[in-house]
Amino acid sequence: MKLTLALPFFNQLDSVKGILGLLKLVTSPNVEWLIIDNGSTDPVESFFRDTLRPPRLRYVRNSANLGMVKTYNQIFQLTQTDLVAIIHNDVYIYEPSWDKRVKKMFKNIPKLGSLGFFGSQGVGPIGERLQDPELPGQMAGISQLLEADRHGIRLLNDYRPAAILDGFAMVFAMAMIQAAGGLDPHYHYHHLYDRDLPLTSLALGYQNVVLNIPCHHQSGVTANRPEYQTWINQVTGRKQGDAWTHDQNTHYFKQKWAKVLPLYVETDFSFRTGTKNGWTYKGDAILSLKSPSRVIGY
């Protein structure tokens, strides 16, 4: 079983050089690095080829920023391995050979479709995280983040089943991605795609887990910068392009998954049915959905 490590890039190289150096240190040399450079003006290619020099490197440059949705589908098109890990370039991973434990999980759970370093067992109608024993509406993530207790529950077991994951670090079985036809292209640029892909995995009969990889997400290295805000305003034609994108994607997500949310995955991977903490869960309704076949990158 082979794994590709994919890193989307849109400038901010100076802010993440240390993170990338750590990533190289903790990643096995047989992992293929796939760098997607979305029109950066920073010297991204020379940094990877001449300075960082991972043993197996593929560098792809786009003439302009595609946004996360199209970038994910480009990554899926280019991946030639069994697994693909899409890691944001602002994520510190602290476990040596983390990729080996990821691959072991996919070997041990034959129908594992997606894996993340942060997620939750439950998801509400607009993508909100739900996690026992948290109350409805609270941040309820499970992880081994440095600040895990601030986001919900610290994951002390090796892994836990999940309904949704967080996009800063997700790993997918390419068999599942191919069955799904890639990431739904109806989403705009950014937001909610990381909820959609794990739910698609469940709808196709796969399972998801959060793995307790020690990590830290610096967060917002790209999205909070003025040049990103200028770009998203330009491509959407709006003064608050990022907020508009979030609202549009939330609306689409809510409509798409209305028949199955709220959803909760129990610790034995079964789906909860009935009312708890004010939520009426719809059980295994997700298994009755038919995921439309799409051409990757459509």
How high is the pLDDT of residue 296?
35
How high is the pLDDT of residue 97?
97
Q: Report the distance separating Cα 6 and Cα 128, nearest Å.
A: 26
Closest C-alpha to 18, from 224, 216, 213, 220:
216
What's the CA angle centered on 224, arms 223 and 230, to 5 degrees?
A: 75
Nearest 5°: phi and psi at 19? -65, -45
* Residue 292 preceded by cis peptide, ω within 30: no
How high is the pLDDT of residue 19?
95
Q: How many CB atoms within 10 Å of residue 293?
A: 9
Closest C-alpha to 200, from 247, 165, 249:
165
Tens-place pLDDT, residues 1-56: 999 999 999 888 888 999 999 999 999 999 999 999 998 899 999 999 999 999 99
How high is the pLDDT of residue 262?
96
Tens-place pLDDT, residues 287-298: 988 654 443 332
How high is the pLDDT of residue 165?
97
How high is the pLDDT of residue 260?
95
Low-confidence ranges of the chain (pLDDT < 70): 133-139, 220-225, 227-228, 231-232, 241, 290-298
Closest C-alpha to 65, from 217, 198, 275, 241:
241
pTM higher than 0.85 for the full model?
yes
Q: Which residues pair with 141 in a beta bridge?
A: 152
Tokens of 123: 């998801």
How high is the pLDDT of residue 293?
44
* CATH superfamily, with its number, for domain 3-288: Spore Coat Polysaccharide Biosynthesis Protein SpsA; Chain A (3.90.550.10)
How high is the pLDDT of residue 242?
74
Q: Is 202:283 a contact under the CB 8 Å cutoff? A: no
